[in-house]
Amino acid sequence: MTPRTLDDRTAAADWEVWSTRARLVVTDPAQLVAAQRTMREYLDAADRACSRFRDDSELNGLTARHGRPAVVGPLLAEYLRAALAVAEQTAGDVDPTVGAALVRLGYDRDFGLLAGTDTPAPPQVVIARRPDYRAILLHQQTVTVPREVRLDLGATAKAVAADRCADLIAERFGCGVLVSLGGDIATAGSAPEGGWQIEVRDGPNEPGCRISLPAGAAMATSSTIRRRWKRGGHLVHHIVDPRTGVAAETVWRTVSVAADTCLTANAAATAAIVRGHDALGPLRRSGLPARLVDRGGRVGTVGAWPAER
**Rounded mean pLDDT, 4-31:** 87
Q: With beta carbons less than 8 A apart as the criterion, state whether 174 and 164 touch.
A: no
Nearest to 156 by CA among 73, 97, 96: 96
Nearest to 111 by CA among 238, 268, 197, 259: 238
pLDDT for the residue numbered 18: 85
- Sorted by sequence, the CB contacts under 8 Å of residue 186 that are 6+ apart come out as 159, 162, 163, 165, 166, 167, 178, 179, 218, 261, 262
- Distance, in Å, from the CA atom of 220 to the CA atom of 109, rounded to the nearest integer, reads 24
pLDDT 10s digits, 78-129: 999 999 999 999 999 999 999 887 777 766 556 555 555 656 655 555 444 4
How many CB atoms are closer than 10 A to CB 294? 14
> Which has more confidence, 65 or 282?
282
How many CB atoms are closer than 10 A to CB 174? 12
Strands 290-294 and 252-259: antiparallel
Strands 208-213 and 20-26: unpaired
DSSP string of 242-267, one letter each residue: TTTTEEPP-SEEEEEEEESSHHHHHH
CATH architecture of 1-309: Roll (3.10)
List, in sequence order, every residue forming a beta bridge with 17; answer none if it has no partner: 20
Q: Determine which of 48-52, 82-86, 127-131, 170-174 has the lowest per-residue pLDDT on average.
A: 127-131
- Distance, in Å, from the CA atom of 45 to the CA atom of 38, rounded to the nearest integer, reads 11
pLDDT class of 3 with cuts at 50, 70, 90: very low
Instruction: Locate the domains of the chain by residue range.
Output: 1-309
List, in sequence order, every residue forming a beta bridge with 181; answer none if it has no partner: 22, 184
Is residue 41 pLDDT above 90, yes or no? Answer: yes
pLDDT 10s digits, 239-292: 888 888 888 788 999 999 999 999 999 999 999 999 999 999 999 999 999 999
